[in-house]
Amino acid sequence: MSDGTKTLENVRELILSAHKGSTLEDKINFYNSWADNYEQDLVVLDYRAPGLAAHRISSHFSGDHEAAVVLDVACGTGLMAKQMKRHGFSHFVGVDGSEGMMELARQSGLYQDLKQCMLGEEPLPVQWGLFDVVVIIGALSVGQVPVCVVRELCNSTKPGGYVCMTTRGNCDNLDYKAALERELKQMEEEGLWSCVEVTEVEEWEKAVSEKEEGYIPGAVYLYKKI
């Protein structure tokens, strides 16, 4: 069903099937196989995170958008870069674990460099302190990228640069969200960054879990490196 006729139920079944694979290899294989239909399926889910995050970054970043270097972690097919391009950003480095997803990101022509990395298993393959903006949109959730990766995001950012992160607020992700927020606060107390804003969003995307209906909530976190 790659002709645009997928229903919400079709997409729910696909995403729930991904959670049945417990190994890293299973997850990478899933994303490789999903790549061609990924963006169309997220339209069905009314997935709003990239647009919301790009808007929050743009509203606070006072530097030259066109000259800024952006690290897009868990970049997927390039949805976040496409949104940030609308706000005048044009220099992107992408990191993802799925070669299938990265191939589509490569075809977008938006990225100056793309690097494969198993987040949480391998260190981020980038120079510390290089980036004006670092983003990770959609991947900070249970069963995906571990909370500890946020320290690497901070390390990758220039002093005065911004880190933007998102997570979901659905019932299955509440423990992860709480752990993430504890780590963000701990890093603030350590003097690594300061919180610019946290934006809680009620209608983040359509629910896929059988336990929830309608939309699930989510949050955008924006921090400034000290």
Kindly report, residue by residue over 4-47, the tens digit of the pLDDT.
Answer: 568 999 999 998 887 666 788 888 999 999 999 999 999 999 99
Q: Where are the CATH 3.40.50.150 domain residues in the chain?
A: 49-225
The yes-or-no verdict on residue 51 having pLDDT over 70 is: yes
pTM, two decimal places = 0.95
Q: At residue 181, what is the residue type?
A: E
Mean pLDDT for the stretch of residues 195-202: 98
| Residues whose CB falls within 8 Å of the CB of residue 61, separated by 6 or more in sequence, listed in order | 68, 132, 133, 162
The yes-or-no verdict on residue 3 having pLDDT over 70 is: no
Mean pLDDT for the stretch of residues 195-201: 98
**Mean pLDDT estimate for the chain:** 95
pLDDT at residue number 18: 76
* Architecture in CATH of 49-225: 3-Layer(aba) Sandwich (3.40)
Strand order in the sheet with 111-116: 111-116, 91-96, 69-73, 131-136, 157-168, 215-225, 193-206
Q: What is the spatial distance between Cα 83 and Cα 67, in angstroms, rounded to a whole number? A: 16
Mean pLDDT for the stretch of residues 205-220: 94
pLDDT band (50, 70, 90) for residue 196: very high
Q: Which two tokens mark 193?
A: 């960054």
Burial class (CB in 10 A: 0-12, 13-18, 19+), 167: buried
pLDDT at residue number 30: 93
Nearest to 119 by CA among 91, 132, 138: 138
Q: What is the spatial distance between Cα 64 and Cα 70, in angstroms, rounded to a whole number? A: 12
